[in-house]
Chain A
Amino acid sequence: MSREELEKKSMAALLGIASAWYDQMKTGEIPSISLPTRTKYNIEFDDASEVWKYGDRESMRTAASAKSATHLLKMAYVIGFIKQQLSENRSSTLREMYYISEGWKRAKFSAQDESNFLIEDLEILSEVPREGFHLHPEENGASIYGPMRIREETRRGMKTIHCQDDVGQAGYTIPNNVENIEFVDHDAKFVIAIETGGMYDRLIENGFDEEFSAILVHLKGQPARSTRRMLNRISSTWDLPVLVFTDGDPWSYRIFASVAYGAIKSAHMSELLATPRSQFLGLQPSDIRDYNLPSDKLTEKDVEALNAELTDPRFATDYWKKQISLQIDMGLKSEQQAFAARGLDFVTKKYLPERLSEMGII
């Protein structure tokens, strides 16, 4: 969808919400709105798109109590604000909008969480991602390094960038709005999404991207929306496999799950944000055993999280059952950078080539 189309669609959708309320009030009805219930109990796996989406449960919000009426009033103010922003072609961060709401009296937000949540509601109602409202998070995305060329529509004009030749050591920074990027060409065989900055830097320093024609993406922990959207677009545009390389602990497996299947908070955007073709590369519990990696003992919370994952439908495969059970038995976890114990080149010369060929990637 082009930028103009997206803006048109979001304007139409938001005005649609306002008109519906206008009509309700005109006929003497209390304005109301219904939304899918946004909890994990209302998440369903969509076979067609292979991602997790909201189910059929809906909750109705009617302005019949002060709390609900205030919520609708805030929504009306936000719609008015977005309308103005779109017509003046301005944009703002979510935090800026929160501060702008200071002047909205009764409709003022009490915390930024509240305004973020409301924007997500509007995304669901309008089926337009927040970029279509000209709203973006203030934290910038993670970075990319590898043999690919993109064209980005920046505020200072169109720029074409090659993600090895035209960027510094840290790579190309993923912008807030990935929709403004055009994917020109590439010379890659696969994408590796890496949890920690240390490992991302190690692979760049060792020239792994050149040697194996790999695009390296730094996830920066739990990846931001723009990072996930970038992975989704690279994978779908160029039909490349995405491999997720994280620490070997239960929390990192959840990073993989949110890349591969989507997160509860943004299940309405799963089709745009999740990359169902992504695979888990490591660090696998069996790697801790096979490579005798330095490790830490699992805490109580770790074990709890592992057990929860055993019953999580997203991890209901033989592969995961085996690995998680193994980890619980060993009682150990390791970080990605633990490979350094075997020498700085070990991960790029030995571990990754072995693991990638085992996975049939190279």
Chain B
Amino acid sequence: MRLALADELAKQQRSISVAEFFEKNKHLLGFDSPTRGVITTIKEAVDNALDACEEAQVLPDIFISIKKTGPDIFRIIVEDNGPGIIAAQVPYVFGKLLYGSRFHQIRQTRGQQGIGISAAVLYAQLTSGLPTVVISRTGAKEPAHRFEIQIRIETNEPDIISEQPFDWDRTHGTRVQIEFKSTMSAKKKLLEYLRYTSVVNPHARFRVELDDESFTFERVSQEVIACPVAIQPHPHGIEFGQLKRMAAASDQKLADFLVENFSRVGKKTAQEMGERAGLKSTVKANGLSMDELKSLLSAMQAVAVPAPPTSQCLSPIGEELIRRGLDKEFQMDFVAARTRPNSVFSGHPFMVEAAIGYGGKLPVEGNAILLRFANRVPLMYQQGACAITECVANINWKSYNITQQGLPVGPVLILVHVASTNVPFTSESKDAIASIPEIEKEIVLVLQDLGRELKNFVSRRDKNKQAEDRARAVCAIIPEIALKVSEIVEKPVVDTTPIEGKLMRKMIAKKSSRGGKVTIELANYSGYDGEISVYDISADPAVDAVPKADFVSEIDGQFTKVWKVTVPSKEVWRAMYTGKGGGLLDIRGIDDSRKMVVDLDV
């Protein structure tokens, strides 16, 4: 009886291809819903394009198009000006899961495992049944090739439906066209993704066509970013399987094996590791037994080794470019960015950079906008599960004068970028960064630093506001109090200019209108003689101005009147003309801190 059951079970037991596995577990790769599928596909294609352009040292020019081709079928095209893929490799890159160039390298890249784009190909063939069309060209002298590709699900091998040379106007680059079942309900999220991508890739230009609409995210930097260089693994960041594979592939003596295959291991360190593991430094690495390898691994991790070199394998965006990227996409009153020094967790180099923006067009209500990035890729989902979010929420923002309900609240934008040779994600869909104490510490430090800067800005702004408020009180309201009080006590109107002078110690420019007459008044309490240009911009042409303006120009019905005057200390200069007032008044030729402009009609 038992035997029969085992036989029965044995008939059902067989190996599963990777492709089959992912067909059943689409959510692991970010294809859990048709809506999300669009974003994931574009994200994977754009990641690949940006990585390729970086390696080829060209400024990325990426074209994205989404078109509805049938009821709930969408055609997605992503085209780049990268180095292209040689014809023999194209079927594998797109038609085989877990095929990639970057998996074995230790450096900062966007894509890593070679799953993303082929998963999209798989998703397309499962939902629409249509093959993916790829055109690629590696140079002006090479012809372009056009492929129609699917994946053989049972074997995880590419299935080339057609291959032919193609007459393409691009000299190099890759174009991929995928059609699958989807909806456009995530349009806002998609544009958000592209916008965020453009913020952290300021050297790239994105053109987007969504049905009939088109958008461009322009580049703000003309500099190609340095491609991160691969480094050797660090003894503290290696696992048993990898050590075993490396040892088996080596015919070197143990000491040489350690020195030549790992970063930051010198002769002395190698010797120490050998001694600690109870191994002679002359044994051959490929001759080590399983147990010997295990003690070697623990010895390698116990011995103090300097942190891996980080400067070349990581590519920070940089404070200046983050600021410019944010400025371009979000109009804010304040932006500050910081790049932390490189650091290491479990032998993996990493680095954190962050930025805080405030005010401007950011929404005043609701939580702060939080932009999370890992290796220059925006993280669009699972904000709540991410270590970055946790760090932001754990900071006491109130001490930087920002209100907080978990996340900070108000017109605040927070950007955090974690770059690493091995970003620790919580899952394969790469939506959230795992809680690693070393990384969290860096995030908190950089945000605290920026928080202090933000606090300075806000208090400086409040101070200016206070000064303006005071100026309004003194220059506009106190004279009214004087008028009313003098009327009550039945005495001549009391002159309040001494109060102004005493309080302000500034050059005060006032504009007021009464009975169809506009008066501009400059009162110089600054203590210096002032040579001042008065700029008065309003709908009034002021042809009858006394004194006459030195210069008048008109744009769209707005007249700019300019007077060049010298106002000696403690004196008052006046100009009057017929008009309605309003508009803008400014004075130049004096330091901002020594002047105050007040419109008394407001």
Q: A25-B499, A30-B499, A106-B480 are in contact. Are A65 and B486 (CB under 8 A)?
A: no
Within 8 A of B (CB), among A66-83: 66-70, 72-73, 76-77, 79-80, 83
Among B386-394, B487-495, B546-554, the stretch in contact with A: B487-495
Assembled-state Cα–Cα distance A66/B471 (Å): 8
Is there an interface contact between A18 and B469, defined as CB atoms closer than 8 Å?
A: no
Residues of B within 8 A of A70 (CB): 473, 477
Is there an interface contact between B488 and A31, defined as CB atoms closer than 8 Å?
A: no
Which of A19, A22, A31 is within 8 Å of B478, CB to CB? A31
**A64 on the interface (CB 8 Å rule)?**
yes
Query: Would you give the shortest CB distance from A101 to chain B, in whole angstroms?
Result: 13
Is there an interface contact between B499 and A106, defined as CB atoms closer than 8 Å?
A: no
Assembled-state Cα–Cα distance A70/B474 (Å): 11
Which residue of the partner chain B has the closest CB to A77? B484
Residues of B within 8 A of A76 (CB): 481, 484-485, 488
**B361 on the interface (CB 8 Å rule)?**
no
Residues of B within 8 A of A25 (CB): 478, 481-482, 485, 494, 496, 499
**A29 on the interface (CB 8 Å rule)?**
yes
Q: A25-B494, A29-B499, A80-B487 are in contact. Are A63 and B473 (CB under 8 A)?
A: yes
Assembled-state Cα–Cα distance A22/B487 (Å): 10
**B472 on the interface (CB 8 Å rule)?**
yes
Which residue of the partner chain B has the closest CB to A62? B473
Give the one of A29, A63, A79 with max B CB within 10 A: A63
Residues of B within 8 A of A68 (CB): 473
Assembled-state Cα–Cα distance A66/B491 (Å): 25
Within 8 A of A (CB), among B444-495: 466, 469-470, 472-474, 477-478, 480-482, 484-489, 491, 494
Assembled-state Cα–Cα distance A323/B72 (Å): 75
Residues of B within 8 A of A65 (CB): 466, 469-470, 473
Residues of A within 8 A of B477 (CB): 63, 66, 69-70, 72-73, 106
Q: A18-B485, A18-B488, A80-B487 are in contact. Are A73 and B480 (CB under 8 A)?
A: yes
Assembled-state Cα–Cα distance A65/B502 (Å): 15
Is there an interface contact between B494 and A26, defined as CB atoms closer than 8 Å?
A: yes
**A360 on the interface (CB 8 Å rule)?**
no
Which of B474, B488, B498, B499 is within 8 Å of A80, CB to CB? B488
Which of B474, B481, B502 is within 8 Å of A21, CB to CB? B481
**A174 on the interface (CB 8 Å rule)?**
no
**A313 on the interface (CB 8 Å rule)?**
no
Residues of B within 8 A of A73 (CB): 477, 480-481, 484
Within 8 A of B (CB), among A37-71: 63-70
Which residue of the partner chain A has the closest CB to B494? A25
Assembled-state Cα–Cα distance A206/B477 (Å): 62
Is there an interface contact between B502 and A28, defined as CB atoms closer than 8 Å?
A: yes
Is there an interface contact between A19 and B489, defined as CB atoms closer than 8 Å?
A: yes
Query: Would you give the shortest CB distance from A23 to chain B, in whole angstroms?
Result: 9
Query: Would you give the shortest CB distance from A293 to chain B, in whole angstroms?
Result: 48
Assembled-state Cα–Cα distance A21/B493 (Å): 12
Is there an interface contact between B473 and A28, defined as CB atoms closer than 8 Å?
A: no
Q: A15-B489, A22-B494 are in contact. Are A66 and B484 (CB under 8 A)?
A: no
Which of A22, A30, A64 is within 8 Å of B486, CB to CB? A22
**B503 on the interface (CB 8 Å rule)?**
yes
Within 8 A of B (CB), among A113-164: none
Assembled-state Cα–Cα distance A31/B474 (Å): 10
Which of A15, A64, A69 is within 8 Å of B488, CB to CB? A15
Which of B488, B496, B503 is within 8 Å of A79, CB to CB? B488
Assembled-state Cα–Cα distance A79/B488 (Å): 8
Residues of B within 8 A of A80 (CB): 484, 487-488
Is there an interface contact between B494 and A72, defined as CB atoms closer than 8 Å?
A: no
Assembled-state Cα–Cα distance A25/B478 (Å): 9
Residues of A within 8 A of B473 (CB): 63-66, 68-70
Is there an interface contact between A22 and B491, defined as CB atoms closer than 8 Å?
A: yes
Assembled-state Cα–Cα distance A72/B494 (Å): 16
Q: A25-B499, A28-B498, A29-B499 are in contact. Are A63 and B481 (CB under 8 A)?
A: yes
Which residue of the partner chain A has the closest CB to B497? A28
Assembled-state Cα–Cα distance A83/B487 (Å): 11
Assembled-state Cα–Cα distance A28/B500 (Å): 8
Residues of B within 8 A of A83 (CB): 488
Query: Would you give the shortest CB distance from B345 to chain A, in whole angstroms?
Result: 52
Within 8 A of A (CB), among B19-49: none
Query: Would you give the shortest CB distance from B385 to chain A, in whole angstroms?
Result: 39
Which residue of the partner chain B has the closest CB to A26? B494
Residues of B within 8 A of A31 (CB): 478, 481, 485
Query: Would you give the shortest CB distance from B514 to chain A, in whole angstroms?
Result: 13
Residues of A within 8 A of B498 (CB): 28
Is there an interface contact between B503 and A64, defined as CB atoms closer than 8 Å?
A: yes
Residues of A within 8 A of B480 (CB): 73, 106-107
Q: A22-B494, A80-B484 are in contact. Are A69 and B499 (CB under 8 A)?
A: no
Residues of B within 8 A of A63 (CB): 473, 477-478, 481
Which residue of the partner chain B has the closest CB to A72? B481
Residues of B within 8 A of A30 (CB): 474, 478, 499, 503
Residues of B within 8 A of A64 (CB): 470, 473-474, 503
Assembled-state Cα–Cα distance A335/B484 (Å): 53
Is there an interface contact between B469 and A66, defined as CB atoms closer than 8 Å?
A: yes
Query: Would you give the shortest CB distance from B439 to chain A, in whole angstroms?
Result: 46
A sample of 30 cross-chain residue pairs with beta-carbon separation below 8 angstroms, ordered by A number, consists of A15-B488, A18-B485, A22-B486, A25-B485, A25-B494, A28-B499, A28-B502, A29-B499, A30-B474, A30-B499, A31-B478, A31-B485, A63-B477, A63-B478, A64-B473, A64-B474, A65-B466, A66-B477, A69-B473, A69-B474, A69-B478, A70-B477, A73-B477, A73-B484, A76-B485, A76-B488, A80-B484, A80-B487, A80-B488, A83-B488
